[in-house]
Structures are given as C-alpha cells and as structure tokens.
Structure 1
Amino acid sequence: MSKKVLIITYYWPPAGGPGVQRWLKFVKYLPQFGIEPMVYVPANPSYPIIDETLLSEIPDGISVLKQPILEPYKIASFFSLKKVKTIAKGIINDKAKQGWKERFLLAIRGNLFIPDARKSWVKPSVRYLSTLIEDFGIDTVISTGPPHSMHLIGYKLKLKHSIQWIADFRDPWTTIGYHKQLKLLSPAKKKHIRLESEVLNKADKIIVTSHKTLEEFESKTTTPVKVITNGFDDHGIIKPKKEAKFTLSHIGSLLSERNPEVLWKVLSELVKENEDFKLHFQLHLYGTVSESIIDSLTEYGLKGFVTSHGYVSHEEAIKAQMVSQVLLLIEIDSEDTKAIIPGKLFEYLASGTPILSIGPKNSEVETILKVTNTGNYFNYTSYSELKNQILLYFESYKTGTLQTQPVGVERYSRKALTKTLTEYMSWEL
C-alpha cells in the first residue's frame, strides 16, 4: 500500500521560473518509490511568470487540491501595476533609482506582510487541510518555501495533528539577500527571526538546497537537516546544432544587483582589440533584465551585440542552453549569496555547454563546477583571469573543440534526488 504525502507549495504550473520545477519533478518520481503525493496549491495565484507548457508535465492521476487565496499584489497593482510586477519578480532597483512608489511598496511588503505577501492563506489552509489529513489518512506533510508562509501552514498543522512535518527550504529565510532591501523595521526583523526559529525547531526534519544553508540552520536548531539540491530531468529534446556565432547566453532573471560589470568591461575590450572576436561575438539574454543591466551594456558599448529574448518557456530555455557556445551564470557579490545554487545550474550541467560563472568567493556554485568539470568560476575582481578564459573559449570555438567533459553529473538527476528524498522520509514519528 502506497504511503500518502501532502505537499504544500505556492508555485505550481502554470507558474514559470525555477521555483516550480523542484516539486513538480519530485511529484513525477515519488510514485516510483511507493509514495502517493497529493499537492496543495492556491486556486487563484498571482504568478509573476507564466509558462503554460509546464501544465503538460503534471503527471496523470496526481491529486492537486486548490483553495482560494487573497493576493495583496493584485490589490496593490491598482496603485502601481508596473512596480508591483517587478517587485513580485524579485527585481528591486538600486536605492538611487527607487521612486517613492517603489520605496512605499517595499516598506509595506516588508513590515506588514510577515513573512510574506501570502500570509493570509495560512489560516484558511489549516482549516481545510485539517479535515483532509483526517479523511485521507495523511501522516507526512511537506511545506516548501519561499514563500515561507507555506511553512507556517505546516507548522500549525503539526500543532494540531500527529503527523511528520518536513520543511523544505529552496532558499534561506532571514539571510536571503532581498531582506536587506525590504526596509524592515526592528519589530519586523524580530518577528522574522521568531517565526524562523519556530519553524526550524518544530519541524521533524528540514531539507535545504545547499551545504552553506545546512551550516546556517544547524547553528540554529537541533532538528535534522539534509541537503537535497535541485537537479535536471530527462527532457527528451534532441540536441540541436550549435549556434554559428560565438554566443554567450544568460538564462534567467538578471537583477539590478546581479550586474557583472567586470564581464561587460572584458567583453567591451575584446570587441575593441580583436576584430575576429567582434565579428563572431553575440550576447543572448533570456528572461527579465533590469534597466540597470541594460544601462551598463549601453555604457560599455555592447548593446549592439545583445539579443534580449525576454521570458521563454522551459522547453525553449533547454534548447537555448544546448545551442549556445558558453552559458553565463551570474550571482550577486555578497556573503549571503554563497549558499545560493540557482536551479538552472543543474540543467546547465546536463546541457554539455561550458559554463562561465561569476559570483562571490568560496560559493557552492564554484565547488560544483570544479567537482563536475563543467565550467570556470570567477570573482568580481578576476579581470585578467576572466579575459584569458573567454579568449580560450573563443579559440576552442574557432577550432570546433569547445565542449565539456563532465564528471559525476548523474547524481543531480531528478530521479536520483527523489530516491534520496524518499530515503530521508521516515514514518517513525
């Protein structure tokens, strides 16, 4: 007889972006390990990104339960639709470029909606799911965040029922980078810390996506913590022919603080110094790009080499990874982002395309690239090294030898990760 597990998540198809992928894929493979997943999602969510193609990836026969949610972002959109959409996508302008509307919305978001704008869904969800837990004999509940209000649903269900509750953190809570931009007052900061502590200490088990987050949480709780990273799936797409040009592609949002000016400077100089490079070079940007990034590209004379595609479907993103000559992976230069492992990294690994990554020193991305032999990692001060590496890539491109020799990438397959998840799930309460 299959064990039943209830998964509480905000992001679910047709939501686009990396947040939806993790549990969509776990749900796909859990039945192969004797576990029957039931998924609980909002009936009327306000997703910043939509990808209808992901609806076809929901496995047949999976129970998806839905309840209405009051979305403050919809209400706030009457005040400033453009600002609300950019904040919902995680794009926050530099302080110098923030108008009063954006500052006001950030202050409201940070200090009134704790832990996040979906907090109003907690109480009605607990009422609804309490009946469901009894009716269906569910003994394990998994909440996944952000938004971390999903964990408050799991927390309150744990207080009411004899269940195993596992809290899955795709990103940290109080140390996540954007918290510093939410204009949190002291009471709000204290409430975040208190709620985080309650979740970490009441959960039966915790899952995180990086070892640095594991270290952080192990310093805050004695609850067992397990690293289960994101991964890649067998998409079945036939590998297309590589682009004719020397294409550097970034797939995903480029936020204001994720602006690698060292890279723009290197590319600008190569275009000026090397006519052959200038003839072949092309920069592709897939996803939402902040105005400050566009301004920087213009300032460095690169705008004429840029093709901005906007948001594309997951399938199109996979194809773009495979046809590109080099994939860019950019992270904010901050202590807080060392623990961040973007979900797209694992699809990058599986693409066979060399990865050029720029981020903070001693990050987990750097470790993964070295261990898997899939790319090169640089800091924001690594100007000469970065320039030399791009030239090496370019020379390999011209000789048709630009490729990777990956090692041990299979450990990041979605099926292998689901096996690890099922082993971590114990029904001994």
Structure 2
Amino acid sequence: MNILIVSPFFSPNIQIASFRIDAFARYFREAGHTVTVITIGERDETVTRYGCTVHYLRDWAGNLSGSDARKRFVGPLRLMLMRMQFLCSLDWRALWRRRACAKARELLDREPADVLLTSYSPLAPHMIALRLRKKGYKFHWVADMRDEMSDHPHHSLHIARRLRRVERIVLREADLVTTVSRPLVDQFRRLCGHDRFLEVRNGYDYEEVRDASFQPRFTLGYVGRFYWESRPDNLFEVLAEMKRRGEIPSDFRFRIVGNHLRLVVPEAIRDNVEQEAEVPHDEALAILRQLDVLVMIHPTGRRGVYTGKVFDYLASNKPILALFDPRDVVADLLAETRAGFVADNDDREGVRRKILECHRLWRDREVLPRDWEKIRQYRRKNQVGILLKHLEATLRRH
C-alpha cells in the first residue's frame, strides 16, 4: 500500500499525539508499505524518518523558534493569531492547512495514495481530506479522532455546536474512523448512521521491565503535564495528612517531572515535592525506574479517555496509582492487567487507602502480579497491527 499521513504531530515533537502518529508511520513502513508524512516543522524540508519520507512545512503563524528574547516578543502574538484562527475557522492551524493541502495535491498528482490517514486535533488534517475528496482524488480515508471532537468538555456550547456540524461531515465521509476507546467509539457512532469505526488504543514502545527495584526513600512520581482539571491538589492534601499522622515516611518524595507550570504545594510537604523540568521521552522512561509509585490524575466525569502515559506505566513493573473514575476505562485496564490501584480523585479517603497499599508494597519489597501477556497487546506495534490488518482486508476486497 501507498499510505499518506497528514498530521501536525510527528517527530521530533515529543507530545503524546506525536507518538501515536510516529507509530502509525513506523509500523506501516516496517510491514513493507510505502509511507509519506506531511507535518509541521521549524523549516520547510524533506527528510527520512523510520524509512518514511517526511515533508516538514513551517507554520508561519504557529512556529516559535529563535532566541529567548524573540520568543518573549513573538509568543503572545503567535498565541493571539492561533486563537483568531480557531475563532474564525475552528482550526488553529488554518493557515498551515493551505500549505499542507497544496503539498498533498502535489504528492497525489505524482503518485496516488491507497490510504490517507488524518488526525484530529486540530481540524486541519480532516479538512484537507475533505478538500481532496471534493477535488476528485481517490483514496481510502482513515480519520483518526483520538479523543472527542464536539463533545470535548472544554468547548463552549457555541464552539461545540459549530464543531458538531463539521464532525458529522467527517464521520459521514471517512471510510474508517479510529479512536482510542470503546466509549468514544460509541459516542461517535451516535452521531452517524454507520458502523465504520475501529478502536486503536495508544501503547508503549519499549521492552517491558520485569525486574523489581525499590528506592531508599518511598518515592511517588508523576511524569508529564497536568492538563485542565487534572490537578494534584487533593493528592497533596492527602499526602500532607498522611505525613502528619505518620502513615508514610516523613522523608517520602513526590517527583513531578515535566509540568509546564510551577504548582502551589502545601507547606507541610514542600520539602517532599520536587518539581523538575521536562525531559525527552527516553529520559522520562528511565525516570520511571527511579520511582516506587506511578501517579496518574484525571477529573471525574470525562469518560473513555486513556491518558497516554498509562501504557508506558504498564510496562514498567511499578504499581500505578490512578486517581480516575473507578467506573471508567483506566480502571478496567488496571484490573485486566493487575498493574495498579484506582481511586476517585475526589475521594480523599479512597486515595489514602490506595497510597497505603502502594506504601506496603514498597515497605515489604513486593511487586504486583502483572499479567504480562495482556500487557504486551498494548505495544504500539500490536495496536497499529489492528489497523493494518483491517486496511489490508478492506483494500483486498476492493
């Protein structure tokens, strides 16, 4: 197959969304297919990554490079311009979209694609696919939604209504819609009259760590950013109270690696909480081995969303402390793999009990009896294989 991928997220970008698109490109290519990627870069250039041809196109409205002084001057203007693009077109990459669409047409005129895979968000890639269809180009369109579109909890009612119209068009026109969980598949299905959906979860891309290791001091860790309502305030209060009661060692550590803003930490545990700068993904994986408990936090109410870090956590052989809705997909995943504990982020007593479980494991030098066979299905290669198998069968029929 000749596969064209359009997404603003791709290496060397280190966001979770990029890891997903990287995996599609890498494992499509490893399976013997020809893969071309159109993405955003600091400059216009064409390079080879993972054996794929990657066309980087600069987004003049959205790129931010150069000196710190330039960033301080240009940054606010860039954010304002991106905000204006979104308010006008629901797409904060609308200007880049024009350039990317022109590049896609150039490539398709040269050699037709069997498959076009586009990602959301932003809206730009899906709009490019719709534009190409309107111009008469033929391809099997995979619209990778990842998370919600119009139902995202942080959209205003006005924005959600505008997005809903575009969302229905994308769902109707795409040959296949992929997303990361069964609840999101069901959510999208309610907006259209077909069943062309496939659940393709995120995953991890490194060898599972089977050996057990423990830190001299009881060490919790959170690797990544806190987004929106995913805040550690309740956890801080619980840890402070447990320290006061003597339920956990007074010298425990809580390492927060890669959050983009400094957090306000209660005075009682200020010496215990260490806020560290963002590191490359490989370094972040190494840090997981220096922790005793891997923390995840997600606000109650938003369903069907796997935070990307859960899959890296799965393969680490460290207990996961997920402050998530106990009725949601992450709770099911941890129960299936026997990899950790779940408590509602708003349930402080429940959080306390799960921390005590984690502390007991550290104190007694024990590990959870992970189901490694089930965990291995969440290797990114295996998840991409689900999509690849579907595409090969579908295109064979046609």
CA distance in 1: counterparts of 2:102 and 2:228, whole angstroms: 40
Residue ranges of structure 2 left out of the alignment (5+ in a row): none
Any runs of at least 4 consecutive aligned residues in structure 1 with deviations exceeding 3 A, and if so which? 72-75, 77-85, 104-110, 235-242
Q: 1:328 aligns with which of 263, 276, 295?
A: 295
| Residue type at the aligned position of 1:414 | R
> 1:13 is paired with a residue of what secondary structure?
coil
Q: Which residue of 1 aligns with 2:363?
A: 398
Aligned length: 386
Q: Which residue of 1 aligns with 2:114?
A: 139
Q: Could you report, residue by residue, the CA deviation over 1:370-397 in whole angstroms, capped at 9, with x for unpaired residues?
A: 1111111111332223212212221221
CA distance in 2: counterparts of 1:128 and 1:40, whole angstroms: 8
1:131-170 alignment runs, 5 A limit: 131-160=106-135, 161-170=137-146
Q: Which residue of 2 aligns with 1:245?
A: 217
| Backbone CA RMSD of aligned residues | 2.9
| Residue 192 (1) aligns with residue 163 (2) | yes
| Residue type at the aligned position of 1:18 | I
Q: 1:412 aligns with which of 354, 358, 378?
A: 378
CA distance in 2: counterparts of 1:29 and 1:73, whole angstroms: 28
* Contact 2:320/2:340, CA 8 A, preserved across alignment: yes
* Contact 2:29/2:52, CA 8 A, preserved across alignment: no
| Residue 278 (1) aligns with residue 250 (2) | yes
* Contact 2:345/2:351, CA 8 A, preserved across alignment: no
Q: Which residue of 1 aligns with 2:311?
A: 346
User: Which structure's relative contact order is higher, taking Cα pairs within 8 Å and 6+ residues apart?
Assistant: 1
CA distance in 2: counterparts of 1:152 and 1:312, whole angstroms: 33
Q: Which segment drifts farther, 236-245 or 403-412?
A: 236-245
Q: 1:376 aligns with which of 341, 349, 356?
A: 341
* Contact 1:158/1:164, CA 8 A, preserved across alignment: no
Q: Which residue of 2 aligns with 1:173?
A: 149
1:18-417 alignment runs, 5 A limit: 18-44=16-42, 58-59=49-50, 61-72=51-62, 108=84, 110-112=86-88, 114-160=89-135, 161-180=137-156, 186=158, 188-221=159-192, 222=194, 224-234=196-206, 241-274=213-246, 277-279=249-251, 281-291=252-262, 294-295=263-264, 297-298=265-266, 301-333=268-300, 335=301, 337-407=302-372, 408-417=374-383
| Residue type at the aligned position of 1:312 | V
Residue ranges of structure 1 left out of the alignment (5+ in a row): 46-55, 89-103
Q: Which segment drifts farther, 14-23 or 65-74?
A: 65-74
Q: Could you report, residue by residue, the CA deviation over 1:178-221 in whole angstroms, capped at 9, with x for unpaired residues?
A: 324xxx7x3x4433121111111111110001111101110012
| Residue type at the aligned position of 1:282 | R
* Contact 1:240/1:322, CA 8 A, preserved across alignment: no
Q: Which residue of 1 aligns with 2:5?
A: 7
| Residue type at the aligned position of 2:126 | H
Per the TM alignment, residue 127 of structure 1 is displaced from its structure 2 partner at its CA by 2.5
Per the TM alignment, residue 304 of structure 1 is displaced from its structure 2 partner at its CA by 1.1
TM-score normalised by the chain length of structure 2: 0.88
Per the TM alignment, residue 43 of structure 1 is displaced from its structure 2 partner at its CA by 3.6
> 1:339 is paired with a residue of what secondary structure?
coil
CA distance in 1: counterparts of 2:241 and 2:345, whole angstroms: 16
* Larger helix proportion of the pair: 1
Q: Note closer, same or farther for the CA distance 1:303–1:131 as it changes in structure 2 (3 Å cut).
A: same
* Contact 1:393/1:402, CA 8 A, preserved across alignment: no
- Percent of aligned positions that are identical: 21
Q: Note closer, same or farther for the CA distance 1:74–1:313 as it changes in structure 2 (3 Å cut).
A: closer
* Contact 1:148/1:173, CA 8 A, preserved across alignment: no
Q: Which residue of 1 aligns with 2:390?
A: 424
Q: Which residue of 2 aligns with 1:97?
A: none
Q: Which residue of 2 aligns with 1:53?
A: none
